Chain A
Amino acid sequence: MQSSAFMTRKELIGFLILAALIFIVFPVALDNFRLNLFGKYLTYAFVAVGLALCWGAGGILSLGQGVFFGLGGYCMAMFLKLEASTPENTAIQSTPGIPDFMDWNQLKELPWWWEPFYSLPIALAAVVAVPVIFAFIIGVAMFTRRVGGVYFAIITQAFAAIMTILIIGQQGYTGGVNGITDLRTLMGWDIRTDEAKTILYFVNGALLFVVLLVAQYVRKSKLGRLLIAMRDQEDRVRFSGYNVANFKIFIFCLGAAFAGIGGAMFTLQVGFMSPTLVGIVPSIEMVIFCAVGGRLSILGAVYGALLVNWAKTSLSESFPELWLLGLGALFIAVVMFFPNGLAGVWSEKIEPRLLALFNQKKPSRPTPDGAPAE
């Protein structure tokens, strides 16, 4: 295949397995309710893939990815809320035609910056653009001043806290702690039905693959190799004449764009957006998805998001009062015994054995192409 530079055979198989899982196995094996839940988990996978690039490849640990997830989600939610707040639907309010929470907060008219969100194309563009612009500002401010490592992580965490406080404090404009709720239709199409949820699941899966392919492309490009070089020896890259800050800003913005798309898909599938998805705790959880999956692997990140969220759901259904302990034990076990996460388990434990089996049967065949090991 001509993709050999873009994707090794092993990687191609990995992509195909994941595609089979998402597009065939889950829809066949799961009922509507569970499928919708997996759709929700997969929206977190967007963030985890972005983190695998920023953190795993680039060494930039961001504890504020929830901000970008939230911004994307809020952009989508604003559009849907405006569509749901027709004068007929909101006739009971003192000012019909504006979102319900604005009415409760005595706003008499729509704030000007909500106006553009009447348009779907603008809202969709904003889903990507707003997180990217925000990430760009943070990136320029931090990376050109050579703020990195732990300091960068702390600052991004502070942004997550600030964003939550801002959203909760400006409840007349943002819905406050309740978030933006009761979203109904997308261009007249009811997103609450089972059928719509199934369609959204597939749209979500397709978008995730687009994101995965972009991530794979970045990894394999010169940029990707530079990122890894930067992670391991930043000064050496700088002395070779590269502008390190620009690469960092780019990859950080890319991660933010992925997270924004994930947030928008979350809003569509879950039906609301709230500040609990923006703050420090969800942002750290997103890092955990990535860590469990194996931060070096973009596919691992998807599995990490799926596994952790699935464990969260099933543990909390079986042990409503103890499940957090179980989840904690899972994290500790992964960090202690499998520092490279699920991807590490696969490439260190399972894959060699499979290969050994494979090679026993066909001893004449050499091991697959010698792409640089990662």
Chain B
Amino acid sequence: MSDGFSENNSKGVNRRAVLAGGTALTASLFMPKNLRAQDFATADINTTGLAVTDDTVTIGILHSVTGTMAISETGSVQAEKLAISQINEQGGILGRKIEYIQEDGASDWPTFAEKARKLLVNDKVASVMGCWTSASRKAVLPVFEQHNGFLYYPTFYEGLEQSPNVIYTGQEATQQIIAGLDWVNQTKGAKSFYLLGSDYIWPRTSNKIARKHIENFMEGCEVVGEEYYPLGHTQFNSVINKIRLRKPDVIYAIVVGGSNVAFYKQLKAAGIDPTEEGPIVLTISVTEDEIRGIGGENIEGAYACMKYFQSLENENNIAFVKAFKEMWGEDIVIGDVTQAAYLGPWLWKAAVEKAGSFDVDKVREASPGIELTTAPEGYVKIHENHHLWSKTRVGRAQADGQYEVVFETAELVEPDPFPEGYQ
């Protein structure tokens, strides 16, 4: 296979398709070139015994659809299924339709490891779209490395990891944090920050990066408090009192899950209304999905720093939101992680086509440099370190549960999972 034909293909044809604004928008958006199965002999494109036949290729979907994480992970499952069906509508990958085997991680880390092994050893899937929490990723990582599987992981996470067997389609921590802090400093003049979060590795690592950035790279800025609460904590009165006492310019909140509901309601009840911006509430843990639980009226006015918001106004995203709602219902909301999950199958398709093979080693080799012009978040590219170059955006929560995008970085932000000077 000629090297790099998939980039040429995706860029050239799609730009034109977008400009033409064809009627069959989704179909024309995503690489309409017909690759026929007979052009690729199964024996040539699958030399390691993966589940590839003359007209199908099987991948795995591994998320929690039961247990406490189901509410978060369902969006990812839906996005992955949408991407798979769209790819199949266009003729699949190397002329082969994608079939999937879905397994339930059940919000339980050993179950994730068990199911990952099942998908790789028994089902011989060519790749896996899956995992959400860091704990589940850590649990499956040795399995993927041992059996040389290939995982597309959608969640924004703490970084400090770079596995040859994982493509991280979400942001690592610096991509989500630094641009947002600079923005709030430069446009709002914020100088003092109160950091708080749920007590596990992602909020702690994120706040560590935030603190280093505030203290070392932002002139005249300081952290006036840093606190953590157990997952599921619902009593934030004491921290809210401390916040009122220390009067920070920014409350930097990385509260996750059900605790969010209590936190924002109590904040509002205590008279700290995010719409008044005194202090500003800035979060990296509340997507449109979480707002459904919190209630738009409770969080209205708060800022969130993400790479994707459902309200983004570009052709790709408009088509994506439309297709998503057609498949999963009008009421659905799409958060940052859901969009990142949607990228997984597309990035894999591009890498397989560039490699001209389903073999994991070849797909891995082909992955760095893969570009996607059709991503709902805009143009993205896979870095050497298996993370994505992507923009950082700041959105402001509206009462209707959507974000209004108020800022985006001019350039793509380089992923840096082991940031120097932030350790």
Contacts and interface: CB of A to CB of B under 8 A. Distances in A.
Interface of A: 31-33, 36-37, 40, 92, 94, 101, 104-106, 165, 168-169, 171, 176-179, 181-184, 192-193, 270-272, 274, 276-277, 313, 316-317, 320-321, 323-324
Contacts of B113: 270-272
Interface stretch (B20-28, B98-106, B333-341): B98-106
B162 to A, nearest CB: 9
B230 A317 contact: no
Interface of B: 65-66, 102-104, 106, 108-111, 113-115, 117-118, 121-122, 134-135, 138-139, 141-143, 146, 158, 160, 199-201, 204-205, 208, 230-231, 418, 423
Given A31-B122, A270-B110, A316-B104, 17 more contacts: A33-B122, A168-B199, A168-B200, A177-B201, A178-B134, A181-B139, A182-B141, A182-B142, A272-B113, A272-B138, A272-B139, A276-B135, A313-B114, A316-B103, A320-B66, A320-B103, A324-B66
B66 A323 contact: yes
A276 B110 contact: yes
A168 B230 contact: yes
A40 B102 CA distance: 22
A94 to B, nearest CB: 5
A321 B66 contact: yes
A104 B66 contact: no
A36 B117 contact: yes
22 contacts: A31-B122, A32-B121, A104-B158, A106-B208, A171-B201, A178-B200, A179-B135, A181-B138, A181-B142, A182-B141, A193-B146, A270-B114, A271-B143, A272-B110, A272-B138, A276-B109, A313-B114, A316-B103, A316-B106, A320-B103, A321-B104, A324-B66
A176 B115 CA distance: 22
Question: By DSSP majority rule, is chain A's interface helix, strand, loop, or mixed?
Answer: helix
B114 A37 contact: yes
A82 B117 CA distance: 24
Contacts of A276: 108-110, 135
A171 B200 contact: yes
Nearest to A319: B104
Contacts of B134: 178
Contact of B114 (A31, A40, A92): A40
Residue of B65, B109, B143, B201 ringed by the most chain A CB atoms within 10 A: B109
Given A104-B201, A168-B199, A169-B199, A317 B138 contact: no
A94 B143 CA distance: 26
A193 B230 CA distance: 37
Contacts of A165: 230
Nearest to A277: B110
Contacts of A277: 110
Nearest to B228: A169
